Chain A
Amino acid sequence: MTKGIESLARWGRKGCDSFESLGRAGIFLAQSAVAVPSREGLRLWLHQIYFVGVLSLAIVLVSGLFIGMVLALQGYTILVDFGAEQALGQMVALSLLRELAPVVAALLFAGRAGSALTAEIGLMKATEQLTSMEMIGVDPLRRIVAPRLWAGFVSLPVLTIGFSVVGIWGGYLVGVEWLGVFEGSYWSNMQASVSFLDDVGNGIIKSLVFALVVTWIAVFQGYDLVPTSEGISRATTRTVVYSSLAVLGLDFVLTVVMFGGLS
């Protein structure tokens, strides 16, 4: 009997803990996002864009190229049965711009940059660098967290655009150069069906949302972890798992809102 009550109490405690941590994460986001950028802050921000954005460029572009190529190959084998291989450009462009580029770039970003952010901030906390910063009167939220948060927010949309461009080029390479789809219909069907505001714009809005969520989860997990080596490894895993789930779940919600179908 007491055992049952105890386990019930444990569940309740767990629930309270997760709500508490959600609240802490919200306050944390509000405090670090509004930090006023100074000249020094701008320099820190640029450096973080270099680390989370420029250094992620290679993996994102290579993945984009392969995804565009495989889309063209798969799409061609299906479309050619209906004699509709002219629609290849439209298919590649729409699936990249609306879904694949924002989602896959965000997943890669969570694995490549998000986990690194968590480990870095976590190690700073474990070696008490954050506490010593506070002691000399430097706000770690402003000095450490805010530049990383804003760098992620700016970098991921740029990476997403790069992903789409390289993917569409990869689709061109396979569809037009190798499989022999007529070049004119590849581009003109694409231009006839892609709308700049509805498709490109909504894709970028998606990637802005993903960027905020992924970097928020990454820096918060780093800032909030248990400062031991085990705690760092757990927090890094949690960053990747939570960001991937959040990206995929939010993608469904955003798609329903943007492209409708359930109303």
Chain B
Amino acid sequence: MKRSKTMELGVGLFMLAGILGLVFLGLRVSGVTLSAPAESFQLEANFANVGGLRPRARVTMAGVTVGRVEAIELDTEWFDARVTLRLDGELEGQLSRDTTAAILTAGLLGEQYVGLSVGGDPEALEAGDTITDTQSALVLEELIQQFISNMVSG
């Protein structure tokens, strides 16, 4: 009977260890925060070229992460890329209408992300609006081509 008690205790500790491991994986490894999911809203931006931007990439403002890229699809009307951004709710109604969006690269070979910077327009962007002033991703080949043609002509 005593043997069976230690056995059951062992099983209990085993299951407890599993739950604690799951909590560790949640909090420490995937960085889940216990607070409720924050309010958010969507903006859209059209880019001539998104380069290596991927869904779930960061959206930053002054280097601070303020949202994520939700979807990237081809706009068949203009044949450019329509990027849907999901931003923190506290920015809703705060971004001016002439806010610019640029696709930037972290480091030389790092991941690409979207950087926003506000302008001076008194009117604000509402949820679902489109950012018109955008700057495409830096494509290394185009840059080199430009450099070579400048050298030849100069």
Residues of A within 8 A of B (CB): 43, 46-47, 49-50, 53-54, 57, 82, 84, 93, 97, 154-155, 157-158, 161-162, 164-165, 168, 187, 190-192, 194-196, 199-200
A84→B106 CA distance, assembly (Å): 11
Main secondary structure, interface of B, reads helix
Partner of B30, one of A54, A154, A155, A194: A194
Residue contact A195 to B21, C-beta cutoff 8 Å: no
Main secondary structure, interface of A, reads helix
Query: Which chain B residues (5-38) contact chain A, with CB distance < 8 Å?
Result: 7-8, 10-11, 13-15, 17-18, 21-22, 24-26, 28-32
Chain B residues contacting A164 (CB-CB under 8 Å) are 21, 25, 29
- Nearest A residue to B18 via CB reads A158
Residue contact A53 to B29, C-beta cutoff 8 Å: no
Partner of B21, one of A165, A190, A191, A196: A165
Chain B residues contacting A161 (CB-CB under 8 Å) are 18, 21-22, 25
Residue contact A162 to B11, C-beta cutoff 8 Å: no
Partner of B29, one of A46, A97, A157: A97
Partner of B11, one of A54, A82, A157, A199: A54
- Shortest CB-to-CB span from A56 to chain B, Å, is 10
**Which of A46, A47, A57 counts the most B-chain CB atoms under 10 A from its CB?**
A46
Tell me whether B4 is interfacial, beta carbon within 8 Å.
Answer: yes
- Nearest A residue to B65 via CB reads A192
Residue contact B7 to A168, C-beta cutoff 8 Å: no
Residue contact A47 to B25, C-beta cutoff 8 Å: no
Residue contact B17 to A158, C-beta cutoff 8 Å: yes
Residue contact A54 to B25, C-beta cutoff 8 Å: no
- Shortest CB-to-CB span from A107 to chain B, Å, is 19
A9→B154 CA distance, assembly (Å): 83
Tell me whether B109 is interfacial, beta carbon within 8 Å.
Answer: yes
